[in-house]
Amino acid sequence: MTVDQALIAVIDSDDSLRARLRILLEAAGLKIELFKSAEEYLTRSKSHSPNCIVLDVRLPGISGLDLQSRQAKTRRETPLVFLTAQNEVRASVRAMKAGAIDVLTKPFQDGELLDAVRSGIKRDLVARLQKQTLDELRTRLASLSPRERETMMLLSAGQGPKQIAGQLGICTHTARVHSGRIMAKMGARSIADLVRMVDRLEHLSREAEGHRFRINSKCRVTNRGAATVLRSDAHTCPDGDSVGSRGQFISWKSRLLAYPECQQPPGLQLLRP
């Protein structure tokens, strides 16, 4: 999708303003949907999401600010461009602090509205691409076995087959087999490519969805050489795989990504050299 193919929702109770915005935005090559209220928008837009919403701060019923709050709670954060009267200073500040693209005071210039809408569309396209990338990576990650996930995290930490074999208590040949399967399943062309995927999974999970990685056990984090590592003598994740049953050292970041479904351990201690 490009900026010119974007869908814009306009929510305003003023018939003449809706008509003006339709002419302006359609002349810019954008697709438009018009709504008289936030309630009408919420009823009609369940099947799809616009790339940007232009709305009045003060709408009858559910206000523009209320709609912004609802979006934040449901994580359906479509970029918003607010329209407001000249005396709406507090509402404008609240909207901007909550992440609005812009708050335009009536009467506004056509050019500044189009600039704000295009900024909203660009933000939305970036967010959708990030979500698509994250979904694809998570699908690939889900195809890995628990042991392959452990191996992948060690690979991304720069460990070779012999080091991985020693840490996981397996033979070097098995470590190489796991490594080959991981590269194929993740679609990685090189170790550097795999490292980027792991970093992207961690970053996008936190930035795009606020995902929390957790572990369930009595464990401690210590430092072995240059890497911060986690030691756990015995605990089991929901998939039935025993984590750290051999008391091996696994990188903290590795364990978090390998077992995101586990619970946070009580009394976790970070020990630094």
Which sequence spans correspond to the domains of the chain?
Answer: 3-134, 143-258
pLDDT at 217: 29
Average pLDDT, the chain: 77
- Structure-block tokens of residue 248: 């091996």
Which is more confidently placed, 59 or 203?
59
| Residue 104 phi, psi (nearest 5) | -105, 130
pLDDT at 68: 94
- Structure-block tokens of residue 152: 């992948």
Q: Is the peptide bond before 146 cis (omega within 30 degrees of 0)?
A: no
pLDDT single digits (tens) 186-235: 999 999 999 998 888 877 666 554 433 332 323 333 333 333 333 333 33
Residue 121 CB-density burial (10 A; 0-12 exposed, 13-18 middle, 19+ buried): buried
Handedness of CA 36, 41, 44, 48 (dihedral sign): positive
Whether pTM > 0.75 for this model: the answer is no
**HSE (CB half, 13 Å, CA atoms) of 95?**
27
CATH: 3.40.980.10, 3.40.50.12280, 3.40.50.450, 3.40.50.2300. Which one for 3-134? 3.40.50.2300
- What does the pLDDT average to over 153-173? 91
- What does the pLDDT average to over 222-249? 36
| Residue 151 phi, psi (nearest 5) | -65, -40
CATH code for the structural domain at 143-258: 1.10.10.10
pLDDT single digits (tens) 79-90: 999 999 877 888
- What does the pLDDT average to over 73-79? 83
pLDDT at 77: 80
pLDDT single digits (tens) 97-150: 999 999 999 889 999 999 999 999 999 999 888 888 888 988 999 999 999 999
pLDDT single digits (tens) 12-51: 999 999 999 999 999 999 999 999 999 999 988 666 789 9
pLDDT at 125: 93
- What does the pLDDT average to over 153-179? 92
- Within the chain, what is the greatest distance between any pair of CA atoms? 75
pLDDT at 66: 95
